[in-house]
Amino acid sequence: MKPQANLLFYLFCIVSLTEISLIALGYQEYRIFSKPLIIPLLTLVYLQSTPRTRPLHKDAIFIALLFSWIGDVLLQLEGLFVPGLLAFLTAHLFYIVFFMRTDSSNDSFFKLRPVMIIAVIAYLIELMYLLWPTLGEMKIPVLVYGITISTMLSAAFWQYQKLENKTARYFIIGATLFVLSDSLLAVDKFRSSFAFAGMSIMSTYILAQLFIVLGAIRYRIGASSSSVDQA
């Protein structure tokens, strides 16, 4: 990373650790300062680390991070869970767009073995089976969101052997952690609260965004050096 990106990355780590510490210590009221800073700092790391080959409004990763930040802000406000859910759904859609548009001369492992995606479908069915009785009027919104995050995870898996191995692993780890974070949030909100829910949800969410961005940085740099940048 460039020196500016390194500094921003350290700030991102500090703010993220502060956020987790505030949750652990029960100082929820102070999270209004820490949580909204996490994604903007990560976005700046991404922008400082990648060549600008396209305007920001055409950069799927930037737009996904923007809607993630909007979702973070909305979920901190009382009574705005559904708008926050819509913001994150939009973020996932742009992550899907990015994953579907990555360019490579290699075939994906899952293109040759699409049956492997059944595992993602099975996870979605199991999660919805667990949540369905307690969702009430949120049944359809949560189902749509569940289908979206499952599609995002499948699209991330599709990068395996299509892209360079480390880049693909970053995407797969990030997408998996994102699904885990969203699943934990859904269980805590709609099923039953559990110990260390806030710390678990937020730590997996932060790591999810970090791994996806690290993968995107590697992809953008590699694509720039080979003059291929479709996503």
Q: How many whole angstroms separate alpha carbon 93 and alpha carbon 100?
A: 10
Q: Tell me if 50 is assigned to some domain.
A: yes
Question: Which residue, 42, 47, 156, 56, is CA-closest to 96?
Answer: 156
Q: Tell me if 231 is assigned to some domain.
A: no
Amino acid 227: pLDDT: 56
Domain tally, the chain: 1
- Confidence category of residue 113, pLDDT binned at 50, 70, 90: confident
Average pLDDT in the 53-76 region?
A: 93
Which of 51 and 23 is assigned the larger pLDDT? 23
Indicate the pTM of the whole model.
0.92
In this prediction, what percent of the chain has a pLDDT beyond 70?
Answer: 95
Q: Tell me if 143 is assigned to some domain.
A: yes
Tell me: pLDDT of 42 over 70. yes
- List the domain range (segments joined by +) for residue 61: 3-225
Backbone angles phi, psi at 146, to 5 degrees: -60, -40
Amino acid 109: pLDDT: 72
Q: Tell me if 230 is assigned to some domain.
A: no
Q: Kindly report the CA angle at 60 between 57 and 61, in degrees rounded to 5?
A: 110
Sorted by sequence, the CB contacts under 8 Å of residue 27 that are 6+ apart come out as none
pLDDT in tens, 120-138: 999 999 999 999 999 999 9
Q: Tell me if 183 is assigned to some domain.
A: yes
